[in-house]
Each structure stands twice: as C-alpha cells, then as structure tokens.
Chains A and B, each alone.
Chain A
Amino acid sequence: MSTDRDLLLRRLLGPAGPELTCEQCFDELDRYVDLEVRHDAAHADRAVPGMRAHLEGCQACHEDHESLRALVRDTGA
C-alpha cells in the first residue's frame, strides 16, 4: 500500500542507488527514449545505467522524460 507518507519519504530520501547527474540525463535522454520506444524500458535501462534511478529522484528530469517519450510516440518519429 502506497501512502502520502511513502511519497514524502521518497521525495526526501530519493533513490538509493547510483544515478546520473541532470547533465548526463539530458545528454542521454534522446537515446534512452528511442530505445524505450523502439524496444522497451528494460533495454533502455541496460543501455543507460543510472538513468532510471535519476528519473526516480529528479522530478524535473522525470517530467522531461515523460514529455519526450509521449512526443516521440505521438509523432511516430
């Protein structure tokens, strides 16, 4: 069961594992999204270690990732 307290704790404590920086995330975001869309998330996660953890820890990068993935799917690019 996930609660508001869970969410608050996650926001305060973030991911436990190694993660990319915001700059690395932006550099790799297009490759990561293309791999997600053409293959799947597991393939993208294997190719870009630390991306998933960063997207869990950084709300702004998480939103940018969601937008790019949605746009690529929307355009069928």
Chain B
Amino acid sequence: MPVPVPSRPARTLDPESTGWLESLHADGPVREAAIAELHALLLRAARFEVARRRRSMGGGWDGDDLDDLALQSADDALVAVLAKLEQFRGQSRFTTWAFKFALLEASVKMRRRPWQGRELPLEPQGWPTIADRLASPAADAEQAELLSAVRRAIDDELTPHQREVLVAVALNDVPIDVLAERLGSTRGALYKTIHDARGKLRRRLEADGHTLAPATRGGS
C-alpha cells in the first residue's frame, strides 16, 4: 500500500457530463441554475444515504434532524465538488463523481451521530465468547488457537497506537471516522495504521507456523 493505479487513456466525455461542465463553467444565470441543479442532485444523494443508514441502524432518529443532516451534507458536498471541479477527469459520469462527495459527507455525519457524547472504547472490551463451532473438531481447535495467537501478537508486536486503533475499530466496532475525529486524524491515516498493524500480525503468525486465509474482509 499504496498500489500504483494504472494510467488511464483520455476519455471523451459523455454528453450529459459535458453539459454539466459547460454550465458550471459558464457565467451568470446559466451557472447559477447549474449550481442549483447540482445542489438538488447532491441533496437527493445525501437523503438516499441517510435513508439507507436509518433503515440499517434502527429507530431513535429524529426526522427533522436527519433532513437537516442531509441538507448540511449536500451543502458541504457542493463546496467540495465546486472546489474540485478541475479534477474531474471524465473517467465516470459526472453525476457518479458528484454523488460520491454527498454520500461521503452524509455517511460520515451519520456514523458520528450515535457516538456523540460517548466515550470511545479503546481497550479490549473482552474478547467475545463465540459459541459457534465448526463441523470438524480439528478445524475448530485450529481456529481457536489462531485467535489466541492473534491476541498474543496484538500484545507483543503492536505499538500502543497500533493496538489502540486496531482494537477500537476491529474489535470494539468504533467507526473509523469517529475515531479519526476524536484523535484529530483522518480515515486514511488510521487505516494506514491498521494496515501496518495487520502486516505485523500476519508476519508474526506466519513465523509461528500458522496458515492464514489468503483474503478476508476487515472491519474498519
């Protein structure tokens, strides 16, 4: 990490994206109308994200608060899109490119909302007692031993900062954006910390003779 991203050939913009760029680069009423249309597009995206997260996170949300959150997300995304307009390379449709800014603003705000005023659990909250067992007793024992080895490696191999970040995010389910805000950091910087910590754990486990699955989905 980071992985070099292959250079991409120049793309011919699709007509809709061309229209957006021309309107947003115009003067006067044409630009004003384009900005208003863009804001409406971003607000739709932000409301889409808010609704998705509201469904997945259950009740306890105030509808007016959430609409305010969506509007604030659209406002912030509009500023970001206009500031980065020259960076749009036409590698996607303009609307897809713009949507991601609104979704990011809304998702970060929604992740932070349930943690407002709460202390973050940075120490292990107790390793879960996991009742499920594998069909094969041998495989079950092997997996339990691997988990124990991971615990030891976390204690032995990681720096205090690596341990704190990995434990909070991967074990205690603290959203990485929430942790980043509390630590005055960024998602990218904390993920780099997690990435480096995972590398240390993998090297230690492999040195100790454990066989690791080739690919997994993490929890940050």
Is the beta-carbon distance between B130 and A5 smaller than 8 angstroms? Answer: yes
How close is A77's CB to chain B, nearest CB, in angstroms?
Answer: 5
Give chain B residues whose Cβ lies under 8 Å from the Cβ of A56. 215-218
Which of B31-39, B59-67, B70-78, B88-96 is the contact stretch? B88-96
Q: Main SS of the interface on chain B?
A: helix
Is the beta-carbon distance between A57 and B130 smaller than 8 angstroms? Answer: no
Q: Main SS of the interface on chain A?
A: helix
The answer to whether B113 has its CB under 8 Å from any CB of chain A is: no
Is the beta-carbon distance between A5 and B147 smaller than 8 angstroms? Answer: yes
Give chain A residues whose Cβ lies under 8 Å from the Cβ of B99. 30, 68, 71-72, 77
Q: Which of B91, B192, B216 contacts A10 (CB 8 A)?
A: B216
Residues of chain A from 23 to 63 with CB closer than 8 A to chain B in the complex: 23-24, 26-31, 33-34, 47-50, 53, 55-63
Q: Give the number of chain A interface residues (Cβ < 8 Å).
A: 54
The answer to whether B170 has its CB under 8 Å from any CB of chain A is: yes
**Which 7 A-B residue pairings sit nearest by Cβ, starting from the closest?**
A11-B219, A10-B216, A50-B3, A30-B92, A22-B188, A57-B218, A56-B217
- A interface, CB within 8 angstroms of B: 1, 3-24, 26-31, 33-34, 47-50, 53, 55-64, 67-68, 70-72, 74-75, 77
Between-chain CB contacts (< 8 Å), 17 pairs: A4-B130, A8-B130, A12-B166, A12-B198, A13-B218, A16-B212, A17-B214, A19-B195, A23-B188, A30-B97, A50-B2, A57-B217, A57-B218, A67-B49, A68-B100, A71-B49, A71-B99
